[in-house]
Amino acid sequence: MKSSPANSALCLLLCLLAISSSMASSTGAGTARMADRVVRIPGQPPVGFRQYAGYVTIDESRGKAFFYWFFEAMRKPTEKPLVLWLNGGPGCSSIGFGEAQELGPFIVQKGKPELISLVYDIICAESNLLFLDSPEGVGFSYSNVTDVLGDHATDCSAISSHKFLINWFKKFPQYKNHEFYLTGESYAGHYVPQLANVILDENKKALKEDHINLKGIMIFNAAIDDETQSKGMIDFAYSHALLSDQAYHKIIQTCDFSKVNLSDACNEAMTPYNKLYNIIDMYSIYSVRCGGVNPCQQIVVTEYFNRRDVQEALHANVTNLPYAFSLCSNAVSNAWNESAQTILPIIKKLIHDQIRIWVISGDTDGRVPVTSTRYALNRLGLNITEDWTQWYHYNQVGGWTIYYEGLTFVTVRRSGHQVPTYAPKRSLQLFKHFLANKKLPTSSF
């Protein structure tokens, strides 16, 4: 049946309106994106990639906005996956730690507040790299409701981070269909799986334009199970000659780590262990103790991001926050009022949903040690397809692997809590193989 002239005209009008709406949306996204374009950061060397930084609104009624810093891949960004990095704490800045001290592409130099480009191990050679400060109160992220710390539980934080992603993709729609990976370290053992879980749940009911193409997660020195975490810390300290026989056996006999609150007797028995944090670097037990991975660098990073010219270049602190930038927020960590005792059920669900999972463990970290991670993974009851095999970085053993059905466990030799800081080149190798879904090499190359 032929259409009438009126119907044809109406059809044409609707098509034009749809095209116009699409063009307006695209133009709006482009304008918002270009407003976040970072031309140059103070101290930055010349680079061959584009970077963006700024805010994404999460909740207009509470004036809540999360700060991000995004780096396009050095080569062929339209063909590379998108990787989100989250630091833990809870309450620590992914900008201050992940970007400025670990992955780069810029690292604030030791001794002076300027930037260098880590050309030899730059992660964004392999991916488009996104850093997020979450929840509100962390780094430059904020809420105008200053008397309420609403997101300070990991499930709430995951919901807000999902809202961030939905709104971020509206600003950067060209990355919406790219393969998407969640990565992070330490307490991101909670953040990353819980955010992945929210993404999968929301994908089932989301409109096509809000679907997130999540493919995998990778977590470094991941805190994922409280009971095995505590037991593993004590066993690691004892097996590395940090506790006497007497102190160790008293802790084992007295403490029930399955309890949320430890007994007074257990706390007393733990005294020799707790004192270790005052005399050695428990985040890297063989490093010279000076308070963190590099306290000088941490001071310089904090000073750098508190510079007004740096904040202006990054489009940060646009509301003149009533507090200075800090690497970790005591207000957030002290207000953290709910944390799951275990993330293992979520990890099982992610395995069932065929999400790629790599768990990485620096083997000199005493805070989230390799023992804790192995104990936790054993609780999953997964079949092992390839047990305890060395992997190589060129002609040196980089660590060991266990390949489970649905999960890969990797150790990194001579690396502390922040693996990308202690082992940047090996970290790049891990990223490459994870993103390519390839096993690590078992012989020198």
- The answer to whether residue 244 sits within a structural domain is yes
Looking at the structure, do residues 60 and 87 belong to the same domain, yes or no? Answer: yes
Out of 279, 301, 322, pick the residue that ends a domain: 279
Looking at the structure, do residues 113 and 178 belong to the same domain, yes or no? Answer: yes
Looking at the structure, do residues 210 and 234 belong to the same domain, yes or no? Answer: no
- The answer to whether residue 81 sits within a structural domain is yes
Q: How far apart are CA 298 and CA 314, in angstroms?
A: 19
Question: Is the pTM higher than 0.85?
Answer: yes
Domain range for 373: 38-225+338-436
SS3 205: coil
Phi first, then psi: give them for residue 142, nearest 5 degrees.
Answer: -150, 170
User: What integer pLDDT is reported at residue 283 of this predicted model?
Assistant: 93
Looking at the structure, do residues 102 and 189 belong to the same domain, yes or no? Answer: yes
CATH code of the domain in which 417 resides: 3.40.50.1820
- The answer to whether residue 24 sits within a structural domain is no
Looking at the structure, do residues 129 and 154 belong to the same domain, yes or no? Answer: yes
Looking at the structure, do residues 212 and 71 belong to the same domain, yes or no? Answer: yes
Give the residue ranges of the chain where pLDDT is below 50.
Answer: 1-3, 10-24, 119-120, 147-148, 150
Instruction: Report yes or no: 344 and 321 within 8 Å, Cβ to Cβ.
Output: no
Q: What is the dihedral sign for C-alpha 211, 217, 220, 221? A: positive
Looking at the structure, do residues 242 and 383 belong to the same domain, yes or no? Answer: no
Looking at the structure, do residues 156 and 247 belong to the same domain, yes or no? Answer: no
Q: How far apart are CA 223 and CA 368, in angstroms?
A: 6
Looking at the structure, do residues 259 and 161 belong to the same domain, yes or no? Answer: no
Looking at the structure, do residues 235 and 182 belong to the same domain, yes or no? Answer: no
Instruction: Report yes or no: 91 and 336 within 8 Å, Cβ to Cβ.
Output: yes
- The answer to whether residue 301 sits within a structural domain is no
Catalytic residues: 186, 365, 417
User: What integer pLDDT is reported at residue 39 of this predicted model?
Assistant: 94
- Count up the domains in the chain and report the number: 2
Half-sphere exposure of 12 (CA within 13 A, CB side): 7
Out of 279, 298, 315, pick the residue that ends a domain: 279
- The answer to whether residue 51 sits within a structural domain is yes
- The answer to whether residue 33 sits within a structural domain is no
Out of 256, 279, 302, pick the residue that ends a domain: 279
Looking at the structure, do residues 171 and 268 belong to the same domain, yes or no? Answer: no
- The answer to whether residue 326 sits within a structural domain is no
